[in-house]
Amino acid sequence: MTAQTHGDIRVEVGLGARSYDILIGEGLITRAGAAIAARLPGVRAAIVTDENVAGHHLDLLRDSLEGAGIAHTGIVLPAGEKTKSFPALEHAVDAVLEARLERGDIVIALGGGVVGDLAGFVAGIVRRGMRFVQAPTSLLAQVDSSVGGKTGINTARGKNLVGLFHQPALVLADTAALDTLSAREFRAGYAEVAKYGLIDRPDFFAWLENNWRDVFSGGPSRTQAIAESCRAKAEIVARDEYETGDRALLNLGHTFGHALEGAVGYDSARLVHGEGVAIGMALAHRFSTRLNLASPDDAVRVETHLKAVGLPTRIADIPGEMPGATRLMDYIVQDKKVSRGALTFILTRGVGRSFVARDVPPSEVLAFLEQQVGP
């Protein structure tokens, strides 16, 4: 369900009594106070952000909250994937408790996917569950990680292995915030946009092939692409909140991608999440071709589009030395999409025809990886 409110696009995530709105529009950070006060009257807030985002947006959000009479405290963390860690979690939890915020107050996640995942986890565990608001400032967070309630941190054994499902009360996707992103960060977020077309929206993927330049330049297609991505995710989350069924489709490219992120030690200079997803989606389509599930033409089409927008599509595109297939398999079997030792992948029968494949033979995955990177 979508609607227009004050020029914003509204997408509802339908979860009964826990339903919430995603608002998509320009300048929402400067209007956040009013939006929060209207839905969550009388709350106080802890703003969790990182050093990079704080320089661009923290004062705007503070002013907006003050204007709406919302008392608040700021928690500024280091930027980067390595912040999704136990030490950063402990620091943020302690800061929320020090501010004497109560269960009925809120945590605001101001930043990209790292901040959103961490802050949502903080909200989920402090006082056995506070409410929280997502104010995503990256494209990746606006179209993916801010929606659906997945929160968590990484460990040395893998990505997102510690966390919980905790739905936000509101998502404020300020499209103006995207103007502060580097070209690399925007491209990385675009991988998640393309993912929705590749899952089950072939017409959307074809539209992206024709309109991606306008998306990247900030034209009307940008807001349109974000809204369509949010609709796609909202529909899946409403059907399968806790990923017991087809919500797993949202992991297209992620099992391979998470393994690659782990292999580089979450070093964002070498690989950021969206780049890992782009390579992972290309690998998933090539693997599907190897298993005779899809035409090689589909894998070529996917790789062609991802390369056209400047995303990596092969393991060899990652700078620096990479481990061989055997070590990458170690990361894959540690991934949380593994159930009782059986490998689960999102594979495809063609563009926009992805499906959950359970009991994928490890020998097939290993042989495929050896083909891609060597033993």
Among the listed residues 131, 251, 301, 303, the single catalytic one is 251
* 10 belongs to the catalytic site: no
DSSP H helix total and E strand total for the chain: 14, 12
Q: Beta strand 45-50 with 158-165: parallel, antiparallel or unpaired?
A: unpaired
Rounded CA gap, 249 and 200, in Å? 9
56 is catalytic: no
Cβ–Cβ contacts within 10 Å for residue 311, how many?
23
Active site residue 192: yes
Q: Is 90 a catalytic residue?
A: no
Active site residue 100: no
**Given 31, 72, 231, 233, which residue is catalytic?**
233
φ/ψ of residue 189, rounded to 5: -65, -35
- Name the residue type at position 64: S
**Residues pairing with 265 in the sheet:** none
Active site residue: 81, 228, 243, 303, which one? 243
**Amino acid residing at 265:** G
The secondary structure of residue 47, as a DSSP letter, is E
Instruction: Name the amino acid, one letter, at 297.
Output: D
The per-residue DSSP string of 301-362 comes to HHHHHHHHTT---SGGGSSS----HHHHHHHHHHSTT-BTTBEEEEEESSTT-EEEEEEE-H
Question: Which of these is catalytic: 128, 210, 292, 321?
Answer: 128
From the candidates 62, 84, 195, 247, which is the catalytic residue? 247
Q: Which of 57, 81, 84, 192 is catalytic?
A: 192
Catalytic residue among 195, 273, 301, 336: 273
CB atoms < 10 A from the CB of 215, how many? 22
- Look up 84 and say whether it is catalytic: no
Would residue 128 show up in a list of annotated catalytic residues for this protein?
A: yes
Active-site residue, 243 included: yes
* Active centre residues (catalytic): 128, 150, 192, 233, 243, 247, 251, 254, 258, 273
